[in-house]
Amino acid sequence: MQFSTLLLSLSATTALALPHDLLPRAKGSSSELSKISLPQSALPAVDSSLELKYATLGVGTQNYTCSATPKSSAGAPVSVGAVAELFDAAPLLTMGNTRDATLNMEQSTPALALGLFESTGLEPSQLPFPLNLKQVGNHFFGAGLVPTFVLDKANPSGQIACKKTGDIPAPAGAYAGAQGEGAVDWLQLGDNALGFSAGTPLEGGAVYRIETAGGMQDKTCANREGDFEVKYSALYFFFGPKN
């Protein structure tokens, strides 16, 4: 068993064995966003006019279909969007006292979250630590497969509909998921400027999907037909105009 898989298994077992009121609690608040920054990558840099508004952990499914080429090794699954619950990750990511500690939390949290999601069968909002965090919104795809984020439980609330503006493969060491399917790409998403974000902290902003775990589709439809889901987790960092 690979070390990362063993670690996820032990973490899930330990978390489930503890009484809920004895689970470790994340400390801090979203006011500590200044301690959080994007990891270095080949994604386009954040525009200098923007600042971090929300740091969230997304847990859900990447959704695909093989309806056009069922059971065909010549056909490939087609993405039909994603659905995820978004949790305020700032308290968890800033539990350490150093930038290195924050980076370590950024790198490990989605993998641990996905491991719990895969092994427990629970809904994201029911998972034990490290998801003992406030749910602040949801991610889904709107009409025309527009990636959409609604942070209606955040304070202040925000929302944004996006278009893809950057895309790189996940790092080689990213957690691939229990079945080894692979981690979905890291993305930069920009406001699609159609008015959905107007009047919110994310108007004219950007979203970065980073530190992805799982979610990759099969290479072909040989063993698939119809629609299917692949569980995943990722950090979603939301940037909006500086105050």
Q: How many CB atoms lie within 10 A of CB 40?
A: 7
**Which pLDDT tens digit goes with each residue over 43-73?**
999 999 999 999 999 999 999 999 999 999 9
Evaluate if residue 237 carries a pLDDT over 60: yes
Evaluate if residue 166 carries a pLDDT over 60: yes
pLDDT band at 2 (very low <50, low <70, confident <90, very high): very low
What percent of the chain is predicted at pLDDT more than 90?
74
Rounded-to-integer distance, Cα 202 and Cα 50, Å = 9
Query: Does 124 reside within a domain?
Result: yes
* Domain, as residue range, for 171: 3-16+52-241
Query: Does 110 reside within a domain?
Result: yes
Query: Does 179 reside within a domain?
Result: yes
pLDDT at 123: 94
What percent of the chain is predicted at pLDDT more than 70?
86
Rounded-to-integer distance, Cα 62 and Cα 67, Å = 16
Query: Does 148 reside within a domain?
Result: yes
Mean pLDDT in residue range 180-195 = 98
Query: Does 34 reside within a domain?
Result: no
Rounded-to-integer distance, Cα 242 and Cα 230, Å = 36
What are the Cα distances from residue 212, in Å, to 31, 87, 157, 178? 24, 15, 24, 14
Q: What pTM does this model have?
A: 0.88
Let me know: does 124 contact 138? Beta carbons within 8 Å. no
Evaluate if residue 25 carries a pLDDT over 60: no
Who contacts 19 (Cβ-Cβ below 8 Å, separation ≥6)? none
- What is the phi/psi pair of residue 175, to 5°? -65, 125
Domains held by the chain: number? 1
Nearest to 212 by CA among 163, 169, 165: 169
**Which pLDDT tens digit goes with each residue over 77-112?**
999 999 999 999 998 888 877 778 888 889 999 999
Q: Which residue has the higher pLDDT, 157 or 27?
A: 157
pLDDT band at 19 (very low <50, low <70, confident <90, very high): very low
Let me know: does 215 contact 202? Beta carbons within 8 Å. no
Query: Does 172 reside within a domain?
Result: yes
pLDDT at 133: 86
Query: Does 165 reside within a domain?
Result: yes
H or E element: which one contains 107?
helix 99-120
Query: Does 40 reside within a domain?
Result: no
Environment class of 145 (CB within 10 Å of its CB; exposed 0-12, middle 13-18, buried 19+): exposed
Rounded-to-integer distance, Cα 206 and Cα 192, Å = 10
Q: Look over the chain and give the mean of its residue pLDDT values, rounded to a whole number.
A: 88
